[in-house]
A and B are shown apart, each in its own frame.
Chain A
Amino acid sequence: MSAGSLALNGLTRVFGSTRAVDNVTLEVQAGELLALIGASGSGKTTTLRMVAGHDMPDAGTVTLDGVDITNLPPQRRNFGMVFQHYALFPHMTVEENVAFGLEARRMGKAVRLERAQSVLAGVGLDGAGKRAVQSLSGGEQQRVALARALVIEPRALLLDEPLSNLDPTLRRTMRAELRDTLRRLHMTALFVTHDQEDAFAIADRVALMRKGRVLQVGTPEDLYDRPVSRDVAEFIGRARLLPAVDCGTHAILKIGNVERRIGIAADRSASVKPFTEALAVLRPESLCFTSPAGEGAFPGTIVGRRFTGSTVTYDVLLESEAIVEVASLDREMHEGDRVGVGIAREPIALVEA
């Protein structure tokens, strides 16, 4: 079966007095990987569960290739799902787990075991079919869960925090593997994560949720470089937000006595009014050190230093008590050093305060 295109239209779920999911509208194209990110309690898992059919929306619809499937029970949706804790059946072997979906489709035992083995081989687990799932490592369990979801040739794959139970090293490997597998199969996938790195590494597009609402949908670069709101800017990546004056085509950043013109990222058509109160999104890598007395440099003092491997991140206290983070390849600076902070990369994103 080929990948379907999935649409969520005004999906809403209310628990008591809280709107856990509030009018969420999203579209996942056939073969597209869309990540749903947000802090815990933002409604992303509830959204996924409604798509899967494990929870019923109070309003809104889910459609697959334009067909309304909102009221279809999960067993008739033909979606594959990978759960956060994998939800492997502990009383079955690896291949029985993988073949379960085919068993439910009343396929003969020989055929389903053969299919299970070939899918297991596809995720790098050939020969593990007879093992007990409890004897597998976390990474292996994750692959079994993926194989079990893929063997039924689903119209779409739903993944709930699929990487959150893996240790950091394994997690990076599995990210790449997951993306390659989904790409190769041209799979429509909706996956939920609280980890932006996972989302950025795997997804074609990312939807950021907060308090049940979708704040922004776009490519990872869209969300990072062109956040539409303060909430998005604060959630995605590291950034310090400092007041700036929005002049429509550019902005003026004033810290202490130093004033400087900066190029801004937002595409402004003439119809959009400049923000009355704006904040400049200053990311560590868009700032750099210059001499304290240099032209357009903001003078300050280093008050913190963190070694992160490729770069060192310094906390710099500027005039008027503002603190910014500066990522630098220079490892030789220390707390107490007087420095000047300049802009390394423009444009800078501007959001409404």
Chain B
Amino acid sequence: MSDAAPARAPTRRAALATWLIAAPVIAILLLTVVWPNVPVIAGSFEGGLGHWRAFFTNPSDRDALKNTIVVAVASVIAATAIGLPLAFLLTRAEFRGRQTLAAVATLPAALPPLVGVLAFYFLYGESGVLTRGLQHVFGLTSAPWTFTGVPAIIFVHASTMYVYVFLLVSAGLERYDSSLDEAAAGLGAGAIRRLWRVTLPLLTPAIAGAMLLVFMSALGSFSAPFIFGGGVRVLSTQILASRTNNQFGVAFVETTVLAVSAVAALALFRWVERRRGYVLSGKGQRSQRRAPRSVIVRALAPFLVAILVTVLVLPHAMLALVSFAREGAWTTQVLPPSYGFDNFRRLATDPHLWTPIRNSVTMALVATLANVIFCVAAAYLVVMRQFRGRRVLEVMLSLPWAIPATAIAIGLASTFNRNDPLALRVVLVGTYWILPLAYFIRGVPLVTTAVEGSLRQMDPSTEEAARGLGSPWWLILRRVVLPAAKPGIVAGAVLAAITAIGEFVASTVLYTHSNRPISVEIYAQFRTGTFGTAAAYSLLLILLVLVITLLARWGENRVDPGSSTLAG
């Protein structure tokens, strides 16, 4: 029958409309995401293989490569060792203090990377409160640990990145059909066999996804090695060192190696994921939390919870404490000796200190707005339109997620730095706009993924029905597509704004006098030893993140007239 033809077969008109949206989206991606890699790769081959030979023979580069891999792999193992049991504990067990623990379990992820690293420095660093406290209590002549080098980097990674494992495995467990465990139990399998033969194999996608996320983050991590590295090099910091030493060719090789390893890891993961033959059905029952049978465990639970909560809250508390410390007074004491509001007063009154705050807020806002407009179009194309090149579009959209921020920054720095016809004669390096652009690029995968998620939940026939009723495209967009995409837009925008407002890695490579952001200023204050000001900035940054999150939640809960009429 003719009227039963597949509804999504594109007509000429629809195909034209698709390309009207797709053309600018793809053009922007080509220019900002794909093209900047070309000067980097080309630069690494400038003058033949010389730079590459230098990279592989130079001991410090070989060290950097080795350390990068060691840090990434160890971070994955350590973060999984923390996040996995925690996810099981909080989704499956009922104990006193569970809700408190659940509330603070994701706290480390709420810190922008640089701020998190500073918090750890104030707590565990050589002159940190805990370090000095132990030294004092046990009367040691030197600090009990040095907290530098690879172990320190891994420690910081593990205690912040476990949140990824925790969140993804928790989500997997929420969807998990607990009747599978009950079936295994009924067939005679004890707890360990159930875990090993049934639960863990079925959670593999979630666990592997989380491990990939940790691996990628650790691979590109900059703040932790930058501050705790000591003499130890990893690729992301080595790139900056090479540039500072005017060894641009080697810096390009390092950037290429880092980016290619990250993209390869992602590609490997996707390939493994596709080979997996089964999916978990959404049917069945969700697991219920159970109180442990052992009385001892039940009695000990509140104490363990108290310890865990303290460990999770301490870094934040440290930042707050140091932000009130009088500048210059804290020398060799365990805790800063005197406190006051001086640091905050200076932030508000000194224009030099106030400008970075204004810069970061404005640039995050601009980048996020651009992200929302661009990513709604991109997600709409990916989810609701059939066209050749959709796969390529998807790959381009995920590239900024795979490529470490240092590599993105180096790419931008070497693409938009001259009046080059291939970069459309856009010179951005040294201008204000280079940072919003960098933030925008980093936000693309975050917002697109979130909006895609929302659009996928919408029945595609809704849009077709609206079109069938003769609605013009703008009405369909406003009344059908946008309301459906709204939860994703809000969630994605929050993520993008939070990332942008605390961004440090790309900022430190690309900032100029006119757009110096908070993170760069925090680092500058930290380096000059004005810890109080650095901490006050950090606290302010955390506050901004909190405000963004709360604003989003408020916006989400507000009754939206558009969506309510649609539902009615």
Contact = CB atoms under 8 A, between A and B. Distances in A.
Interface stretch (B133-141, B183-191, B264-272, B436-444): B183-191
Interface stretch (B62-70, B239-247, B279-287): B279-287
Contacts of A79: 186
Interface residues of B, number: 24
A132 B277 contact: yes
A80 B190 CA distance: 15
A81 B186 contact: yes
A152 B185 CA distance: 12
Contacts of A77: 186
Contacts of A87: 177, 179-180, 182-183, 284
A186 interface: no
B38 to A, nearest CB: 43
Contacts, number: 83
Given A85-B281, A90-B280, A134-B278, A74 B202 contact: no
A148 B187 contact: yes
Interface string A88-131: 11110000000011011100000000000000000000000000
A52 interface: yes
Given A85-B177, A89-B198, A152 B188 contact: yes
A88 B189 CA distance: 14
B470 interface: no
B280 A85 contact: no
Given A90-B278, A90-B279, A104-B193, A83 B179 contact: yes
Interface in B417-466: none
A54 B185 contact: yes
B201 A91 contact: yes
A9 interface: no
A73 interface: yes
B187 A152 contact: yes
Interface string A57-97: 00000000000000001111111110101011111000000
A80 B185 contact: no
Contacts of B202: 89-91
A351 to B, nearest CB: 36
A85 B201 contact: no
B277 A104 contact: no
A76 B190 CA distance: 9
A52 B179 CA distance: 12
B186 A74 contact: yes
Contacts of B277: 132, 134
Contacts of A53: 185-186
Given A85-B177, A85-B283, A89-B180, A100 B187 contact: yes
19 contacts: A53-B185, A54-B182, A54-B185, A74-B182, A75-B187, A80-B186, A83-B179, A83-B183, A85-B177, A89-B183, A89-B198, A89-B202, A90-B281, A100-B189, A103-B197, A105-B188, A134-B277, A148-B187, A149-B186
Given A85-B177, A104-B190, 13 more contacts: A54-B182, A74-B186, A75-B185, A75-B186, A78-B188, A80-B186, A90-B279, A91-B202, A104-B184, A104-B187, A105-B188, A152-B188, A158-B186
Interface of B: 177, 179-180, 182-190, 193, 197-198, 201-202, 277-281, 283-284
